[in-house]
Amino acid sequence: MKQTITGRRDLAAMLVPLGRALMDAERPVLQAHDLTMWAYVVLDGLHVLHGTDEQPTRSQAALADAIGGDKTRLIPVLDDLQQRGLIRRERDPADRRVHLLSLTTSGRALHDTVQQQIQRNEARLLGRLPAREQQRFLDAVRVLADRPERDLDTSAS
């Protein structure tokens, strides 16, 4: 491999193929549970936002922001999940224009099952690292994934 200026490849050049491979590994798990990638992202987003809390506290717009999705394109996904009894979508009593979202018991159970299967696959990949490095890698990814947008200057330098 040709040496780079910094002695390493760009992060995107390393992470994008890894991300694609991880998504490819998730597809069969999602298909086995009749979920699209976006449906799982919604279930996971609600799980992260609410944990075990049963109270709906997030609007569709807030969920779209949290998962990085377009709120107008999210509506058919929410419709499907609601029809399948996996989420609840209720009008906010304080503002009838707003829908509050929450996972149902079935939605939480499906999310947990799918997440366990996905993470079992990920464990095989992480197994290429020593145990101590696995946790460091996960911690580093978490810090970078939770970064403020301003940390990446998108202007041409």
- Find tokens 């990638």 and name the residue: 37
- Find tokens 């009749």 and name the residue: 34
Strands (E), 57-103: 58-59, 87-92, 95-103
pLDDT computed for residue 66 by the predictor: 82
pLDDT computed for residue 59 by the predictor: 79
pLDDT computed for residue 3 by the predictor: 59
CA separation for the pair 65, 135 (Å, rounded): 28
**Where do the domains of the chain lie, and which CATH numbers do they carry?**
24-147 (1.10.10.10)
pLDDT computed for residue 93 by the predictor: 85
pLDDT computed for residue 51 by the predictor: 63
Series of mean pLDDT values for 10-residue runs along the chain (157 residues): 73 93 96 96 88 65 83 90 94 85 94 97 94 94 80 61
pLDDT computed for residue 2 by the predictor: 59
β-strand partners of 103: 87
